[in-house]
Amino acid sequence: QSALTQPASVSGSPGQSITISCTGTSSDIGSYNHVSWLQQHPGKAPKLLSYDVTKRPSGASHRFSGSKSGNTASLTISGLQAEDEADYYCTSYTTSSTFVFGTGTKVTVL
Amino acid sequence: EVQLVESGGGSVKPGGSLRLSCAVSGITFIDVWMNWVRQAPGKGLEWVGQIKTKTEGERTDYGAPVKGRFTISRDDSENTVYLQMNSLKTEDTAVYFCVTNGYFDYWGQGSLVTVSS
C-alpha cells in the first residue's frame, strides 16, 4: 500500500485560505468516506482536525474543513494564523482493512 | 481527560526484540480499537497496525513492513495495549505512538525505539 500523495509544502499569508490535497486510489480514498486529517507541531504528537471526511472532533477549530472528490481528499484552512504553521497529514482506511497515511505537508505562514 | 502513556522504548541491536506498552485512561477501553503509528526521525507518519475490540474477536491487521514480525495484543482488565516487536531492523528506528480508534483521535506522547548495532 503506497502512501497517499500530498504536496510537500503549502504557504499563505495570515488571514488567507489555503487548501492541502491528498490523492489516493480507488482502493482507499475512493472506496470509503473514512479520511482523517491531523496536525503535528514539531516535537509534539499529532492532533486530529477532522474525520470521516467532513466531521470535526469536539474542540476542533471551525477554520479547518475537509472535503473529498473521487480519489482526492482536501483540507482547507480558512483565516490562516501563525499557529497553523505545522505539518499536516491525511489518512484513509483501505480495502485491505489497513490504514495508510499521506506523505505530509509543511504549512508555512508568511 | 483521556490519557495514553507509552513505555518500553529503548535501544536494541538488529535482530533483537522489544515490547512496548500503552496504558489508557479516561475512555471506555473495551469499546475502542487501538492503533500503533510510528514516525522515523525527520520522516512522516506510518501506520503499524491495529487491534479491534474483544466483541470483534480482537482482530489484528498490520502494515506490510511489519507483518509477521510485530504483534499487537490488548489486556482489557489493565486498559493496556501492547506491541511486541521481533526481528527488529535498523529501519524500525522511530518514535512509536499508540492511538485510539480508526479516527486517530487520541495519541500518546510517543516512545523512541532505536535499532542499531
Distance from CA of B109 to the nearest CA of A (A): 6
Q: Which residues numbered 11-40 in B keep a CB inside 8 Å of some CB on A?
A: 35, 37
Label each residue of chain B as H, E or C.
CCEEEEECCEEECCCCCEEEEEEEECCCHHHCCEEEEEECCCCCEEEEEEECCHHHCCCEEECCCCCCCEEEEEECCCCEEEEEECCCCHHHCEEEEEEECCCCCCECCCEEEEECC
Across the interface, of B37, B44, B107, the residue whose CB is closest to A104 is B44
Residue to mutate among B33, B101, B103, B106, with most A CBs inside 10 A, is B103
Condensed to tens digits (0 to 9), the pLDDT of residues B73-107 reads 999 999 999 999 999 999 999 999 999 988 899 99
Per-residue pLDDT for A1 more than 80? no
- Looking at residue A28, its pLDDT comes to 96
Q: Which residues numbered 4-33 in A keep a CB inside 8 Å of some CB on B?
A: none
Give the rounded percent of residues in chain B with a pLDDT score beyond 90.
Answer: 97
CB of B50 less than 8 A from some CB of A: yes
Condensed to tens digits (0 to 9), the pLDDT of residues A6-26 reads 999 999 999 999 999 999 999
Condensed to tens digits (0 to 9), the pLDDT of residues A24-81 reads 999 999 999 999 999 999 999 999 999 999 999 998 999 999 999 999 999 999 999 9
Neighbours of B8 (CB within 10 A): 16
Condensed to tens digits (0 to 9), the pLDDT of residues B55-77 reads 999 999 999 999 999 999 999 99
The per-residue pLDDT of chain A, averaged, comes to 96
